[in-house]
Every structure is written in C-alpha cells, then in structure tokens.
Structure 1
C-alpha cells in the first residue's frame, strides 16, 4: 500500500508524511553498533503514527 492509499485508523485522515528518528534501532546484545534508521509514517491531520519501519533490517543480524 502506497502512502497515498493509506487511511488513518484514528481520525480517517489521508494526508501523511514520512519522518525519521535521530536515535537508531540496535540489537540488545550489540550496544556498540550504529544500528538502523527508523522510518515513521505520520498522519498530518491528527499526528498518529500509522507505520514504523526500519531501513536495511538485515543489518540487525550483523
């Protein structure tokens, strides 16, 4: 489903933006790794985060 086809479960809105976080996701047993970037899809009408994904999830196994 593309970003233009999504509908917010909270308010029914259809306007979204993709954003990232400055803190990367890391495996619990690998504290010194750089981790992977998290990508959020946020409803512009109410602020609900409708999706969280990570870029390059295979890096969590390394």
Structure 2
C-alpha cells in the first residue's frame, strides 16, 4: 500500500501510519502448527481517526505450509 495514496474511508484523512499487532503469544500462526513462532501482524491505520486501512502478515515465511 506504500506506492499508492490512501484516503480514509471513515473520515477522508490522508495521514497513515503502520503499527504492529502481536508480540509473543499474540502472533498469528497456522492452526495445525502449535510450536511455531508465527508472525506479527502489521496494521496501516489513519492517524486522524484510527480506522484500519490494511492488515498484513509481517513474516509470511513463518506461516507457509510444508
């Protein structure tokens, strides 16, 4: 999403930032893999109202099925 201009659906704002959700036990992981570290989730959010514009897995390689 970094190569395009974002407009907030909620307030019309154009100022966005990226935050990280998940640290340790809050990481996303495959249902069938209990012993993996998983990956944090990156959220792109509007700095004016807090609306989340994008949700993305930070380390996709940790979630791939083998």
Same fold per superposition (TM over 0.5): yes
Structure 1, unpaired ranges of 5+: none
Measured in 2, the distance between the counterparts of 1:58 and 1:3 equals 23
Over 4 Å off, 4+ runs = none
Deviations 1:31-61 (A, max 9, x none): 2210012100010111111100012213212
Measured in 2, the distance between the counterparts of 1:37 and 1:54 equals 6
The answer to whether the 8 Å contact 2:13/2:46 transfers is yes
Q: CA RMSD in A?
A: 1.7
Structure 2, unpaired ranges of 5+: none
Give me the TM-score of the superposition, normalised by structure 1: 0.84
Q: Out of 16, 34, 39, which is 2:37 matched to?
A: 34
Give me the TM-score of the superposition, normalised by structure 2: 0.79
Q: Aligned pair count?
A: 62
